[in-house]
Structures are given as structure tokens and as C-alpha cells.
């Protein structure tokens, strides 16, 4: 490992971890007065609505999961009509949370031209909890979550009800992910084979048993963690290993006085500042379905890079950094004063060299730079 210069300064660290930096406008007299007023008059109401609606979501999920044991995987079996009806009520409640609790009065949704193609797997950039709320409200999607979340009171019931894919010890995420993606596509291919030629593509026949894989679009954040909107980090290849079509969705969080992306700021402070804005904005830009060609199906890293390039263009060409979720932990340790600047940069380089995806990308970049034009 190359030695990091002992003279590295904090600015070097912030620049190296650019996607994880906290970038938001400074306090102004207007913002101080506005925040004080909204803290007293609006924040309690928004917090109350968050609790009430959150309780409603939990009760709906708990009723929908009645009779299903915590260890039971119901994602691949038919669901009774009453259970599907209850699950369908979660998304409107999530939209109400966005409106009442977070002041997201409108989710601006730009549709792609090929809207007749149902999005079975969505890949999106990740900025914070608001994009999870928006994607769930619009696409009724499920997400990848840590296995421990399934055991968390309230939240675990909701995550299980919407069929989140849990990362569990002893079973690689890639294996679970491929199993879920393959099952979803097999289900819809079976449906299509049973449809008449006049029926819309992907519409379920009247006698479809309605297995769990059909109810929720699987939404993946290939970056594996949140960024600040000014940059992206390298997409991981997990979902792209399946070689199946994906729907890229670009998330934007426009702001004037408070950046609602959540990357390197305490959660309680972030929620307070978000709830004390007059309004907040979320934009979802849907790209056409990306169907991998033969080369991309055989090379998941190529598939991931090309999808990310398309999304990068929608984000005005923001740079892509060769960093990972583990690098964010290093940056947080630096912000907390647990490591100094040289140690943070040295650890970042160590992580890069130990990451096959990042190391391969760096090697290819060096070879490309060294090759004659």
C-alpha cells in the first residue's frame, strides 16, 4: 500500500470523500427566524402526523402479516385477497407521510416513453430517507435491508410486509438477490404466456394466484449507501449479475436553504431541519427500461457501468468516485475525531486495494490513461 503523506490536511480528506460531505447553505438571519417559528408552530404538528401515520402503517402491516410467523418466507407463495388489499393500503399512507410530515407536497415524476413495460427491478441513486419514501409511494417498491431490521419493533413488521430483501448472516446478499430477481421475472414470463395477444403486456390474468413477487417492485440502490447529490460512488454489481432488464430511476432532491440528502449529519438533527422547512422537493426521473445486450449480460460490471453512465448524464454529469459504503464509515470516524487526516486517507487506500470492484476500475483507468491516443 502506498504511504499517505503525513502532511495531509482536512481539506484533502473532504475532497477525497466528496460524495459523503455535508453540503448545505449556511445559516442566514432569515433561516434562523423561519426555523425558530416553524419549530414552535409547525414542527410539533409534523412530528405528530409522522407518529400517527407511522402507527397507521404499522397497524396495516401487522394486520396484513397476521398468521405469518417471523421465520416464514411468504414472498414466493400466493396471497389471499384480504392480505393483498391491506398491503395495497401502505403506499397511500407513505405518500401521506411525505406530504404531512416532511412537507413534500408534490413528488415530481417524469415518466419514460415505454411506460407499458412494467418495472420489475428498479435501480436508483441513493440520497437519503426521502427517496425511500418517494419510491415506495410511487412504485410500491420493496428494498434491500439489513437482516437485523426484521427484528426491530414496528419497523420490522413494515419491512417484512412490503417484502424487503433482508441481508442475513450465512447467506450472501448476491445469492438472495439473484433468487428474488429470477423468481420475479419467471413469474411475469409465466403470466405473459397465459395472456391473450390483446391483453396489455404484464397484466395478470383473472385467475393469477398473486404470489408475493408480483406485488412489489424490487428497488435497489447499487451504490449501497447515501451520497450528497454532488457526486456518485461506483455501482456494485449484485443486481446486475442476473443479466435481467432494469428500470433506472434518477432521484433528485432540489433545495434552496437545506439539503435534504442525508449522508454525514445526525439523524435527529436532519429530521428536525427537514421538518422545519416550508416545503421540500423530490424529483424522480424515469429512464427507459435498460435491456442488457449479450456482452452486458456476460459482464455485470460493464452492465452496471453503462446503467450508471446513463443516470450520471441525467444528473448533469456529476463525477463517480471509486468509493464504497465502508469508505463512508472511515469519513465519519474522521469527522468524529477518531482518526486524523493521514490515517483516514491511508485507510481509504487500504479499502480500495481490498475491494476487487474498485481495484479493477482503477487498474482499467490507469491502463486507459497510459495507452496512446
Q: Look up residue 249 and give its DSSP letter.
A: E
pLDDT, position 200: 44
pTM for the model stands at 0.88
What count of residues does the chain have? 373
Distance between CA atoms of residues 331 and 263, nearest Å: 10
- Residues 6 or more apart whose CB falls under 8 angstroms from that of 159 comprise 143, 145, 149, 150, 166
- Read off the pLDDT of residues 294-323 as tens digits, 9 standing for 90 and up: 999 999 999 999 999 999 999 999 999 999
| pLDDT of 162 above 80 | yes
- Residues 6 or more apart whose CB falls under 8 angstroms from that of 163 comprise 75, 142, 212, 215, 216
Confidence of residue 198 (pLDDT cuts 50, 70, 90): very low
- What distances in angstroms separate CA 191 from CA 187, 201, 208, one per listed residue? 6, 9, 8
Confidence of residue 212 (pLDDT cuts 50, 70, 90): low
Joined grid coordinates for residue 64: 396484513
Question: How do strand 247-252 and strand 121-124 relate by DSSP bridges?
Answer: parallel
Q: What are 282's strand-pairing partners?
A: 107
Q: What integer is the mean pLDDT of 128-135?
A: 96
pLDDT, position 113: 84
Residue spans of beta strands (DSSP E) within the chain: 107-110, 121-124, 141-146, 165-167, 217-220, 232-233, 247-252, 282-286, 320-321
Mean pLDDT of the chain: 86
Joined grid coordinates for residue 364: 482499467
Break the chain into its structural domains and give their ranges.
Answer: 29-321, 324-359
Of the candidate ranges 223-227, 275-279, 293-297, 367-371, the one whose mean pLDDT is the lowest = 367-371
3-state helix vs strand vs coil in the chain, percent to 5: 50, 10, 40
Angle 81-88/90-100 helices, nearest 10 degrees?
A: 10
Amino acid at each position: 500500500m502506498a504511504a499517505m503523506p503525513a502532511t495531509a490536511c482536512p481539506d484533502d480528506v473532504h475532497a477525497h470523500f466528496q460524495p459523503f460531505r455535508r453540503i448545505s447553505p449556511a445559516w442566514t438571519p432569515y433561516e434562523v427566524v423561519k426555523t425558530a417559528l416553524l419549530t414552535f408552530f409547525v414542527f410539533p404538528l409534523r412530528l405528530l402526523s409522522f407518529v400517527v401515520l407511522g402507527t397507521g402503517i404499522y397497524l396495516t402491516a401487522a394486520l396484513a402479516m397476521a398468521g405469518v410467523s417471523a421465520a416464514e418466507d411468504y414472498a414466493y407463495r400466493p396471497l389471499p385477497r384480504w392480505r393483498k388489499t391491506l398491503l395495497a393500503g401502505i403506499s397511500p399512507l407513505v405518500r401521506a407521510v411525505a406530504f404531512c410530515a416532511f412537507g413534500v407536497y408534490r413528488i415530481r415524476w417524469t415518466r419514460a416513453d415505454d411506460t407499458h413495460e412494467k418495472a420489475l427491478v428498479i435501480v436508483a441513486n441513493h440520497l437519503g430517507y426521502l427517496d425511500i419514501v418517494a419510491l415506495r409511494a410511487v412504485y410500491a417498491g420493496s428494498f434491500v435491508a439489513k437482516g437485523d431490521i426484521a427484528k426491530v419493533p414496528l419497523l420490522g413488521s413494515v419491512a417484512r410486509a412490503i417484502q424487503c430483501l433482508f441481508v442475513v448472516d450465512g447467506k450472501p446478499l448476491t445469492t438472495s438477490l439473484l433468487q428474488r430477481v429470477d423468481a420475479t421475472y419467471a413469474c411475469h414470463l409465466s403470466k405473459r404466456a397465459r395472456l391473450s395477444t390483446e391483453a396489455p403486456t404484464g397484466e395478470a390474468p383473472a385467475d393469477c394466484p398473486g404470489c408475493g413477487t408480483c406485488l412489489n417492485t424490487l428497488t435497489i440502490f447499487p451504490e449501497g449507501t447515501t451520497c450528497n447529490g454532488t457526486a456518485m460512488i461506483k455501482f456494485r454489481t449484485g443486481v446486475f449479475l442476473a443479466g435481467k432488464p432494469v428500470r433506472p430511476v434518477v432521484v433528485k432532491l432540489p433545495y434552496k436553504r437545506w439539503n435534504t440528502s442525508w449522508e454525514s449529519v445526525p439523524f435527529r438533527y436532519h429530521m428536525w431541519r427537514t421538518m422545519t422547512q416550508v416545503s421540500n422537493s423530490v424529483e424522480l426521473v424515469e429512464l427507459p427500461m435498460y435491456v442488457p445486450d449479450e456482452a452486458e449480460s456476460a459482464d455485470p460490471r460493464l452492465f452496471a457501468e453503462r446503467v450508471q453512465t446513463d443516470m450520471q448524464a441525467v444528473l448533469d454529469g456529476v463525477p463517480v468516485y471509486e468509493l464504497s459504503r465502508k469508505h463512508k464509515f472511515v469519513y465519519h470516524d474522521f469527522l468524529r475525531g477518531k482518526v486524523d487526516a493521514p490515517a483516514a486517507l491511508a485507510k481509504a487506500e487500504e479499502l480500495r486495494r481490498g475491494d476487487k470492484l474498485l481495484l479493477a476500475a482503477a487498474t482499467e483507468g490507469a491502463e486507459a490513461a497510459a495507452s496512446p491516443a
